[in-house]
Structure 1
Amino acid sequence: MKRLILSLAAGAALVSATQAAAQPGFPTTPPRPQGAPRISLPQPQRMQLPNGLTVMYVRQPELPVVSAVLVTRGAGTADEPGDLPGLSSFTANMLDEGAAGMDALQLADALDLLGASLSTGSGTDAAQSNLYVLRQNFPRALQLMADVVTRPDFPEREVSRLRDERLTALARAKDEATTIAGNAFASLVYGGQHPYGRVPSAESTRGLDRARVQAFHASRYRPENSTLILVGDVDAAQMQPMIAQAFGGWRAQGAAMQMGTAPAAPTIGRTTVYLIDKPGAAQSEIRIGHPGVARDNPDYFPLLVLNTMLGGTFTSRLNTNLRETHGWAYGARSSYSMFRGAGPFTAAAGVQTNATDSALVEFFRELNRIRTEPVSADELQKIKSFVALRLPDQLETTQDVAGNLANLETYGLNASYFDDYVQRVMAVTADDLRRVANQYVRPENSVVVVVGDRSVVEAGIRAANVGPVEIRDVTEFVRE
């Protein structure tokens, strides 16, 4: 009876929809997206403390909240000692494990009572601390943030605990194909001596002791290299004295460190496939790529459109090919990681083991096709509209705005970057795409990493003739 009722209901709904469609004025075609809106953020108000700390205020008073991001340039992975990979993230993760005499639980309790969230971490070129709190609780939460960044205690017990957790993760990583592939790709593209190619080992992780963490913090966390970005219900006249009280005791060490340029990326010769055996693997992890471009590259916008078309969205060429057309992968993607130096261009997917060789062929088909075949006007317009119409979503919340401004500060870009973002995206032409594709996508000079069951995939990979095949061991890239 229930099934009959549901069938009758479905039939009635279909009749109703048909009748509605027959009525004059009922839409019969899907709506077309309108032009992307011009985005104009409030102009940040910049101030500075005597110790060199820059403070940016962006007033968005619609909600009584404050998002604060403190970005410290020169405290990222690219700036850590070569023999201690992981030191920057270890230091950042330790900041909220005890500060100004409070232990980690006391800090967490104090933040909970304020309804605030506070997180710390580091990226390639900078470290960040992120605070989100109601405006009325901002003064106390700001002091806790300042304590965490400028007066961390680095308790020995917490240092040991976090170090043990990382050693456990390293031991587990030798069984994780995605970690193996990521480590191998970075190491083979850049080499173990380049900041972008270094990967932690058990030996280097055991060297992360309290003294080294303290030394890195003392030398790298400096007010003259930091910017505090405040977005939301903020007022510079009211808040600047609070900032001075919280961060005024953070001692400068002289002129701001000049970031300079990262070491030059190595040149990749003939494309080579590096096969790493993982017996019994249900799928193969594939990484293809080479050094790409730095964040200040003048072709940023053509590359943004190019990568979105190639592998930067669900409807991209790579994902459509490997997932939708062939069903070999849950997802295929590509990216340009842009840092102070030339970060990697990467095309990646986890594919069915029995389709490893075929997937490699299709990867290279798409990498070559985007260089040689003209892009249709319809596809180009669709991709540009997608990129442009996503911008409002990326600036929807105060946290989004603060995070994006922190990224601009890291790379010395002005906040006016967003003012003509849409116009610069929409100005990209098919000729621009052809030019940057041929300049910055190099399938003939790439590192190819395959982590999979060698007994199943090796013969097919060699037959695919993508390039010479070298067999490498997991222990080269995940060292306990």
Structure 2
Amino acid sequence: MYGFSRFYKYPLPLLLLSLWLVAVFLLSDQPAHSQHTATSNKEKYQSTLIAKRIMPSTLTENVRKTVLENGLTVLTKEVHTAPVVTVQVWYKVGSRNEEPGVNGIAHQLEHMMFKGTKNRPIQFGRLFSALGSDSNAFTSYDQTAYYGTVERNKLKALLVLEADRMQNSQIEPEQLASEKRVVISELQGYENSPEYRLNRAVMQAVFPNHAYGLPVGGTKADVEKFEVEQVQKYYRNFYTPDNAVLVIVGDFQTANTLETIKEVFGKLPRRQEVGGRGQGAGGREQEAGVISRSLSTQHSTLSTQHSALSTPIVLREPGAGRLLQVVYPLPDANQPDVPALDVMDYILTEGRNSRLYQALVESGLASEVTASVTSLRESGWYEVLVTVGAKQDLKKIDSVLSRAIANVAEKGVTSEEVERAKTQLTADVILSNRDITSQAMRLGTDETTVGDYRYTDRYLAAVRLVKPTDVVAVINKYLTKEARTVGFFEPTQKLITEVGDKPDSAQTTENFSPGAPVLPSEVGKYLPPVDLATDAIAQVLPQEFKFTNGLRILLLPDHSTPTVTLSGHIQAGTEFDPDEQAGLAAFVAENLLSGTDSKDVFTIAKILAERGASLDFEAYREGVRIEGDSLAEDLPILLEILADVVKNSSFPAKELELHRQQTLTDLQQELDEPSEVARRIFVQSIYPKKHPLHTFPTEESLQQIQRQDVIDFKAKHYRPDTTVLALVGDFDLDKVRSLIKNEFGNWEVSGQAATLKYPPVAMPEKIVSVNPVLPGKAQAVTYMGYTGINRYDPRFHSALVLNQILGGDTLSSRLGAEVRDRQGLSYGIYSYFQAGKNSGTFLIEMQTSPEDSTKAIASTRQMLQQIHQQGVTALEVETAKRTLISNYNVSLANPEELTDRILINEVYGLEKGELHSFTDKIHKVTLEQVNQAARELLHPDKIVVVTAGPSVLAEKSIR
């Protein structure tokens, strides 16, 4: 797995999917449409802290840096808010250290690091899962990182595993061949995205002579040619203690932990002790057969070391929606202009009042404009991406974009804009560092990118000094006509065809037998010693209040950071959409912030932006999700805006029409994504017409929605007696209760709340295969399943344990071990029971190369059959239970996840102590209950199989 390092603009992608089955919130894995938020919701991994209103203690306070004799850098930070700890190992090597021909080798090695060691010849994902560790890895331009978060009593076990694979990883021919197929499947998934293909072409033109111009994950052509010796050399050369940074943040004692680190890692030799050469960076790179092409001596002139094209790069390929991308080279992260560039970016693209949003989106020319400043070790760039409708002229859009930037350069920016940007940056950095994993990510990024874990603190001080003249100066210096490289994506005509309902094809003709499951006893054999008795989480329960109008609120003070997280639910989801107006619920939710009786859309956006607060509404099947956060001192403002929009939204006609055009463009793009197409057809194949879950928006249904329909839907379904709010953060209980009462106490409605009764849905009588073909796609996405259970089913907790064994983790589950790890057929395979108020679906999702789809589906069905008939083992059940309990305990340390769990429990009407009793219920699940659930809930011969992707699927039966 790899992530683009949007350094201090977006968070480093935590590409770890859930390792255990949960009751899926509001019976949907995705909102009805893309999000349209008021302000600061870009989820930046921002390294800026400048506003004058609030200046918390430094981010590196209490951080201790230690360098062992073998060169290993250790960063430790004690955070005692919960009994959990995160361990991260960062290697100072990434795609920057590659050359053409071995592009992607850093990413390939990252995958191989999970395949086992000489001492532990077992998939490491199984060991991490047995520890209940929330573990994964990513490769970026400048670094490769491995991270895991566990209960504190398992800290040493994680350290032992990381030290083992730092020196002893096995890279064998059979394992490499299997994992190369997995990596190619991953790359094909990226190839499905027009944005990815356009970005690749543009970046190669911007940096033709530097590895930053190469894809981080590599190319299929290069990956196919990797030899064992190449990967082994790369491993030996770069994976050494003197080229690594170990970061530990959480509930531990520094002195004792440092002694443990010296014991575990101190015996590992630095590079020169192994082979006597490669003592410098150049030596490492030359021996590994790669080069850095370092520009460290050319930082000041790097902006001219690129190949700006006089004419746009044009991609004419199958797809949906037109794209414009513009990239400007920028200096590296250590250069003094970087702070002003970040402020510039916020002024240009952050929120409804930003300059480019006004010029492109508010004008109706585009549906979306996003941008990011990337600041890396040797260079950087500013990237602007504009999404437009099929009828728009990209040259015209580019002209408008250029004029808007030139106008800022000529006329300048206001002090108000600069101060607002600083405030947003302040809130972003605080809100993005409430959990220990994010704090460790920041330290690791700083140390491996610029060589100083205190970089963020220095950077914050510099940003605080940015003035309007500084912003104009960097625009004139870097965003010039001569420096820009432009790319157009012009989609060719797209046609989705379906090859469907082939029941006979579900019987495989292959002589397939799944491999023997990896016994938990084998996992235990290689697991480092650990006290498996987990610490009890003494989680305080929230206080619940109910007002006379029926509004329910749950409040949990948490003074660990000066922030507040708000989560809410309104029973106004897409289940209430009329068939002929599918999309109406989302239309209402996403336009609540478009204006009220007293404030227009720009005033609302400005008020939130000036505080760095965010507020968002998303329509799911069973309800509308409210998400908000702010600094603690700004909670009154956040609640005031929330109350105003839910009570007094006015839905201006202009904003509704603008939203309609954006939604139509979004829909066009969704129908070009294999995962979205597979999801739609999968759900509609299970639930018949007229069922609340069958309906999805179409172009026709969206065109049917009128303003009065929006007003009427909101009046009928937005009610205090169907609304729940949960808040966790730094506040006084009584004051916040009084504040909410003042804002929401006069919210009154008449009549009874609307209700729906879901009709029962029969299981398929046979295997049904449907294969929508999407031209131009490289990877296939498969959904398999049928109707499942609801949250109140007495088998729910047994189903959680069953699912954890079956497909809860793509590395350690039965399906992951067989389909991904042993056969290398899928980049990721997971299973879920989507259990809400009403019965959802049992779902298996996988991504495969098209040539592997048939075999992967057959293997999956055989595994379902095996567990259905033979059941699972007692050791598997005990391991799965420990994993679920540990993951749950770790999740409660994250304020956002904690708030969500509090809300979900209330929405589902669960007992007040569910926050505590959930782990007890998992602990009490027996082997007999799990195997009974397997017999009753797994139906390999009555299943819907939908595979969306390349046209080759139309020529093969899905078995």
Shift of 1:301: 0.8
Once the two structures are overlaid, the 10-residue window that deviates more, 151-160 or 54-63, is 54-63
Say whether residues 1:398 and 2:895 are aligned partners.
yes
Shift of 1:61: 2.9
**Aligned counterparts of 1:162 and 1:291: Cα–Cα separation in 2:** 33
Q: Give 3-state SS (helix, strand or coil) of 2:550's partner.
A: coil
**Counterpart in 1 of 2:703?**
206
**Counterpart in 1 of 2:774?**
278
The answer (yes or no) to whether the contact 2:564–2:630 under 8 Å persists in 1 is yes
Say whether residues 1:160 and 2:691 are aligned partners.
no
Shift of 1:340: 2.1
The answer (yes or no) to whether the contact 1:312–1:333 under 8 Å persists in 2 is yes
Q: Quick one: which of 755, 761, 767 aligns to 1:265?
A: 761
**Counterpart in 2 of 1:62?**
560
**Counterpart in 2 of 1:416?**
913
Over 3 Å counting, the alpha-carbon distance change for 1:228 and 1:441 in structure 2 is same
**Residues 149-298 of structure 1: pairs in structure 2 closer than 5 A:** 149-254=646-751, 257=753, 259=755, 261-279=757-775, 281-298=777-794
The answer (yes or no) to whether the contact 2:764–2:943 under 8 Å persists in 1 is yes
Which has the bigger relative contact order, CA under 8 A and spacing at least 6?
1
**Counterpart in 1 of 2:925?**
428
Shift of 1:159: 1.0
**Counterpart in 1 of 2:874?**
377
Over 3 Å counting, the alpha-carbon distance change for 1:40 and 1:196 in structure 2 is farther
Q: Which amino acid aligns with 2:555?
A: Y
Deviations 1:62-109 (A, max 9, x none): 333322223212x11222323322222221111122234323332222
**Counterpart in 2 of 1:35?**
533
**Counterpart in 1 of 2:570?**
72
Q: Which amino acid aligns with 1:51?
A: N
**Residues 76-155 of structure 1: pairs in structure 2 closer than 5 A:** 76-155=573-652
**Aligned counterparts of 2:242 and 2:667: Cα–Cα separation in 1:** 59
Shift of 1:399: 2.6
Q: Which amino acid aligns with 1:47?
A: F
Q: Quick one: which of 519, 532, 543 aligns to 1:45?
A: 543
Over 3 Å counting, the alpha-carbon distance change for 1:9 and 1:295 in structure 2 is closer
Once the two structures are overlaid, the 10-residue window that deviates more, 172-181 or 433-442, is 172-181
Over 3 Å counting, the alpha-carbon distance change for 1:409 and 1:123 in structure 2 is farther
**Counterpart in 1 of 2:267?**
17
The answer (yes or no) to whether the contact 1:77–1:124 under 8 Å persists in 2 is yes
Say whether residues 1:439 and 2:689 are aligned partners.
no
Q: Give 3-state SS (helix, strand or coil) of 1:443's partner.
A: coil
Shift of 1:280: 5.5
Shift of 1:48: 2.6
**Aligned counterparts of 1:12 and 1:152: Cα–Cα separation in 2:** 59
Over 3 Å counting, the alpha-carbon distance change for 1:39 and 1:279 in structure 2 is same
Shift of 1:364: 0.3
The answer (yes or no) to whether the contact 1:336–1:343 under 8 Å persists in 2 is yes
Q: Which amino acid aligns with 1:84?
A: Q
Q: Which amino acid aligns with 2:803?
A: N
Q: Quick one: which of 383, 389, 398 aligns to 2:886?
A: 389
Q: Give 3-state SS (helix, strand or coil) of 2:957's partner.
A: helix
Once the two structures are overlaid, the 10-residue window that deviates more, 245-254 or 37-46, is 37-46
Once the two structures are overlaid, the 10-residue window that deviates more, 296-305 or 231-240, is 231-240
Shift of 1:453: 4.1
Once the two structures are overlaid, the 10-residue window that deviates more, 191-200 or 8-17, is 8-17
Once the two structures are overlaid, the 10-residue window that deviates more, 177-186 or 62-71, is 62-71
Q: Quick one: which of 819, 836, 839 aligns to 1:342?
A: 839
**Aligned counterparts of 2:627 and 2:779: Cα–Cα separation in 1:** 37
**Counterpart in 1 of 2:852?**
355
Over 3 Å counting, the alpha-carbon distance change for 1:139 and 1:442 in structure 2 is same
Once the two structures are overlaid, the 10-residue window that deviates more, 89-98 or 165-174, is 165-174
Deviations 1:165-206 (A, max 9, x none): 221223333432222111110111112321112111111011
Q: Percent identity?
A: 26
**How well do the aligned residues superpose, as a CA RMSD in angstroms?**
2.8
Shift of 1:460: 4.2
Shift of 1:9: 11
**Counterpart in 2 of 1:302?**
798
Deviations 1:194-228 (A, max 9, x none): 11121111110112222111111110000111122
Q: Which amino acid aligns with 2:794?
A: P
Q: Give 3-state SS (helix, strand or coil) of 1:445's partner.
A: coil
Q: Which amino acid aligns with 1:371?
A: H
**Aligned counterparts of 1:16 and 1:173: Cα–Cα separation in 2:** 51
**Aligned counterparts of 1:62 and 1:7: Cα–Cα separation in 2:** 42
**Aligned counterparts of 1:156 and 1:9: Cα–Cα separation in 2:** 59
**Counterpart in 2 of 1:366?**
863
Q: Quick one: which of 808, 821, 833 aligns to 1:324?
A: 821
Q: Give 3-state SS (helix, strand or coil) of 1:415's partner.
A: coil
**Aligned counterparts of 1:9 and 1:275: Cα–Cα separation in 2:** 43
Q: Give 3-state SS (helix, strand or coil) of 1:419's partner.
A: helix
**Aligned counterparts of 1:8 and 1:281: Cα–Cα separation in 2:** 35
The answer (yes or no) to whether the contact 1:263–1:341 under 8 Å persists in 2 is no
Over 3 Å counting, the alpha-carbon distance change for 1:36 and 1:9 in structure 2 is closer
Shift of 1:146: 0.8
The answer (yes or no) to whether the contact 2:682–2:944 under 8 Å persists in 1 is yes
**Aligned counterparts of 2:239 and 2:619: Cα–Cα separation in 1:** 55
The structure with the largest alpha-carbon Rg is 2
**Counterpart in 2 of 1:313?**
809
**Aligned counterparts of 1:322 and 1:90: Cα–Cα separation in 2:** 40
Once the two structures are overlaid, the 10-residue window that deviates more, 30-39 or 185-194, is 30-39
Shift of 1:343: 0.6
**Aligned counterparts of 1:98 and 1:423: Cα–Cα separation in 2:** 46
Over 3 Å counting, the alpha-carbon distance change for 1:157 and 1:461 in structure 2 is same
Once the two structures are overlaid, the 10-residue window that deviates more, 32-41 or 264-273, is 32-41
**Aligned counterparts of 2:906 and 2:241: Cα–Cα separation in 1:** 58
The answer (yes or no) to whether the contact 1:192–1:199 under 8 Å persists in 2 is no
The answer (yes or no) to whether the contact 2:559–2:729 under 8 Å persists in 1 is yes
Over 3 Å counting, the alpha-carbon distance change for 1:450 and 1:111 in structure 2 is same
Shift of 1:235: 3.2
Q: Give 3-state SS (helix, strand or coil) of 2:581's partner.
A: coil
The answer (yes or no) to whether the contact 2:777–2:949 under 8 Å persists in 1 is yes
Which 5+ residue runs of structure 2 have no aligned equivalent?
1-232, 244-263, 270-525
Over 3 Å counting, the alpha-carbon distance change for 1:8 and 1:272 in structure 2 is closer
The answer (yes or no) to whether the contact 1:224–1:252 under 8 Å persists in 2 is no
Q: Which amino acid aligns with 1:287?
A: Y
